[in-house]
Chain A
Amino acid sequence: MSERLKVHDIAHARAGDKGDVSSISVWAYDPKDYPLLKNQLTAERLKAAYPKLLRGSVTRYELDHLHGLNFVLRDALEGGVNTSLNLDSHGKSFSYLILGLEIEAADADPVVPDAAESGTTDGG
């Protein structure tokens, strides 16, 4: 039986926007929780969680040495500030969409990710 956590319990995040692209960085408070984030908070997971909002590609950049992930969400701002009628047309609050996701605490991969490399993965 594994413990379920919200991402918000172990990480903080900030969202920014350019046109119809939202970028959201997510950072582990404690480096020992970073593998948990890296293993479970994948681009695919994010796209699957919010398919109506995330209509375009989701790309994840990894900054292992800073224990952070950067998500780039294309076509994710309901048209962007030009056309979105969302009260939050910049998607400033979308950082908390990621922080509201649940992850399995017991799923942590004990292997510390390669600290020297920063990688990229795509979620289509």
Chain B
Amino acid sequence: MRRSVRIGCGAGFSSDRVEPAVDLAQRGALDYLVFECLGERTMAFAHRDRMLDGSKGYNPHTAQRMRAVLAACRKNGTVVITNMGAANPLAAAQLTVGIARELGLAGLKVACVEGDDVTRQINAGTALHDRDGTVRDIGLPVVGANAYLGAEALLPALKAGADVIIAGRIADPSLFVAPLAFRFGWGLDDWQLLGRGTAVGHLLECGMQVTGGYFADPGFKDVPGLVDCGFPIAEVGFDGGFTVTKLPEVGGCVTTATVKEQLLYEVHDPATYLTPDVTADFSRVAIEQLEPDRVHVHGADGRPRPDKLKVTIGFDGGFLAEGGISYAGPNAQARARLAGEIVWQRLSRNNALLADLRIDMIGVNSLHGTAHTPPTDSEDVRLRVAMRSRRREDIDTMLWEVEALLCCGPAGGGGYRGTISPSVVTHSALVARDQVRPTLRMFTA
């Protein structure tokens, strides 16, 4: 049994930066480097990608990340753990094996953990958990469904000596709990230790959100070297107490304030944070600055895990389109407002077009407009028209009308842009644990 484990986070979301992960791989002296790259919606988009091309559906940056860190991780004995497999862990594992061979890393062991995809168990009558009704009531095609697997699903790969573990929908903190439980020999029913490991995972899983990212507010909360902000490292003791830190040479900061903000990020009741592993309790956590960029965290607790596993079901939501045109200088707000009224009236001649339409003025009321609109004398205003629809022709009509403002709207409008993105809708359901069977496949480069 080890007395301490050094674990780093090399990505906190799908599009996270790669350079700081390379720093950690090369100089972090890490036992484990975790890449957490999945959200509910990223998984739904991954299912869409796989439907369009059966060889895709994993994180689109998988190859870049693996090429950037594999050699250093192998040299330093750092095991890589990631959910970059998304909707296609097998393809991501095979891709990784190929990259390892290209890099001359013969013998590298790559584990592929699957079993989270429960799409075949979902039908029209499946009851939803986050709202009343069933899958049928959503009225949209299902693109895929995944159960949140816990640390348990990763243990066989760790025991098999994998150098890289690629999975799909593992609960974010469980990516960290698994190696801690493995190295320290924690029981999967030792709720207090699992609660503490979950605190480690929760604080690290969003990457630099705990080292100064998503934090700076100039003049109030200044972050040194945000340009080169580093990803976090946790030094975890066998009793689950840990210190959050970063490499000394990189930018960012680890303070009680950065740790506090992340402690409750996306947490509702601090005493009841549900994961597949445990009901974690962060309500009595102590946070202490030991020295600059080193914050000690202890006192997390846990109660028995939830009986059932959460499932996220992704639906095809059609298209999301946004069209914009800008107005500046004297009376810009009045001209932008008039432009918005004109678009609305032109589209209102076909009522279907107004079903899911929103018109904002960026610079005046776009983000907080529903809550309140404080007066502003801004003379640089962008009209934004947004629409969601499954009918591509409606989307095209809306964008056309916004572009038409260039000649058929108020004076001085410029800078039209229009974008169309795929749209997904997600809902959750619950599934019995015995209905989900994690599997392991091992590959050698």
Residues of chain A whose beta carbon lies under 8 Å from any beta carbon of chain B: 8, 12-14, 16-19, 21, 23, 25, 27, 29, 49-50, 52-54, 59, 61, 63, 65-66, 68, 70, 72, 78, 81-83, 85-88, 93-94, 96-97, 118, 120
- Is B271 touching A93 in the complex (CB atoms < 8 A)? no
Write 17 A-B pairs (CB below 8 A) sorted by A numbering: A14-B262, A19-B428, A23-B267, A25-B264, A52-B372, A53-B371, A61-B269, A65-B284, A65-B286, A68-B264, A70-B268, A72-B269, A83-B356, A83-B388, A83-B425, A85-B387, A87-B367
Contact of A85 among B257, B269, B388 (CB under 8 A): B388
Cα–Cα, bound, A63→B427 (Å): 31
Give the 4 A-B residue pairs with the shortest CB-CB distance, closest first.
A16-B266, A85-B358, A53-B371, A25-B264
**Is B400's beta carbon under 8 Å from chain A?**
no
- Is B370 touching A52 in the complex (CB atoms < 8 A)? yes
Contact of B268 among A21, A53, A93 (CB under 8 A): A21
Cα–Cα, bound, A65→B386 (Å): 44
**Is B368's beta carbon under 8 Å from chain A?**
yes
Cα–Cα, bound, A88→B367 (Å): 6
Cα–Cα, bound, A29→B367 (Å): 26
- Is A50 touching B371 in the complex (CB atoms < 8 A)? yes
Cα–Cα, bound, A85→B264 (Å): 26
- Is A118 touching B283 in the complex (CB atoms < 8 A)? yes
Q: Smallest CB–CB gap between B373 and chain A, Å?
A: 10
- Is B221 touching A82 in the complex (CB atoms < 8 A)? no
Beyond A23-B266, A118-B270, 18 extra complex contacts between A and B, CB < 8 Å:
A8-B220, A12-B217, A12-B261, A16-B264, A16-B266, A18-B268, A19-B130, A23-B267, A27-B261, A50-B371, A61-B283, A68-B264, A72-B268, A85-B386, A88-B367, A94-B371, A96-B368, A118-B284
- Is B268 touching A23 in the complex (CB atoms < 8 A)? yes
**Is B384's beta carbon under 8 Å from chain A?**
yes
How many residues on the B side are at the interface (Cβ–Cβ under 8 A)?
A: 47
- Is B266 touching A86 in the complex (CB atoms < 8 A)? no
- Is B264 touching A87 in the complex (CB atoms < 8 A)? no
**Is B366's beta carbon under 8 Å from chain A?**
yes
Q: Which residues of A contact B426 (CB under 8 A)?
A: 82
Contact of B362 among A21, A49, A52, A87 (CB under 8 A): A87
Q: Smallest CB–CB gap between B233 and chain A, Å?
A: 21
Q: Smallest CB–CB gap between B400 and chain A, Å?
A: 19
Cα–Cα, bound, A12→B426 (Å): 31
Q: Smallest CB–CB gap between B364 and chain A, Å?
A: 12
Q: Which residues of A contact B266 (CB under 8 A)?
A: 16-18, 23
Interface of A is mostly: mixed
| Interface positions of B from 176 to 218, Cβ below 8 Å from A | 214-215, 217
Q: Which residues of A contact B367 (CB under 8 A)?
A: 86-88, 93
Q: Smallest CB–CB gap between A119 and chain B, Å?
A: 10
Q: Smallest CB–CB gap between B229 and chain A, Å?
A: 16
Contact of B260 among A25, A59, A96 (CB under 8 A): A25
Q: Smallest CB–CB gap between B274 and chain A, Å?
A: 11
Cα–Cα, bound, A13→B261 (Å): 7
**Is B337's beta carbon under 8 Å from chain A?**
no
Interface bits B115-151 vs A (CB < 8 Å: 1, else 0): 0000000000000001000000000000000000000
- Is A63 touching B283 in the complex (CB atoms < 8 A)? yes
**Is B360's beta carbon under 8 Å from chain A?**
yes
Cα–Cα, bound, A68→B384 (Å): 36
**Is B41's beta carbon under 8 Å from chain A?**
yes
Q: Smallest CB–CB gap between B310 and chain A, Å?
A: 11
- Is B265 touching A14 in the complex (CB atoms < 8 A)? yes
Q: Smallest CB–CB gap between A74 and chain B, Å?
A: 10
Q: Which residues of B contact A66 (CB under 8 A)?
A: 260, 263, 285, 287
| Interface positions of B from 327 to 368, Cβ below 8 Å from A | 356-358, 360, 362, 366-368
- Is A27 touching B257 in the complex (CB atoms < 8 A)? yes
Cα–Cα, bound, A109→B310 (Å): 43
A52, closest chain B residue (CB): B370
**Is B409's beta carbon under 8 Å from chain A?**
no
- Is A87 touching B360 in the complex (CB atoms < 8 A)? yes
Cα–Cα, bound, A59→B268 (Å): 9
Q: Smallest CB–CB gap between A98 and chain B, Å?
A: 10
Q: Which residues of A contact B372 (CB under 8 A)?
A: 49-50, 52, 97
Contact of B265 among A25, A85, A86 (CB under 8 A): A25
B261, closest chain A residue (CB): A14
- Is B370 touching A53 in the complex (CB atoms < 8 A)? yes
**Is B317's beta carbon under 8 Å from chain A?**
yes
Looking at B317, B357, B358, the one whose CB has the most chain A CB atoms below 10 A away is B358
Q: Which residues of B contact A85 (CB under 8 A)?
A: 320, 356-358, 386-388
B356, closest chain A residue (CB): A85
- Is A70 touching B264 in the complex (CB atoms < 8 A)? yes
- Is A14 touching B214 in the complex (CB atoms < 8 A)? yes
Q: Which residues of A contact B263 (CB under 8 A)?
A: 25, 66
Known: A50-B371, A93-B368. A81 touches B260 (CB 8 A): no
Q: Which residues of A contact B388 (CB under 8 A)?
A: 83, 85
Contact of B384 among A13, A54, A87, A96 (CB under 8 A): A87
Q: Which residues of B contact A53 (CB under 8 A)?
A: 370-371
Cα–Cα, bound, A14→B263 (Å): 10
Q: Which residues of B contact A21 (CB under 8 A)?
A: 268
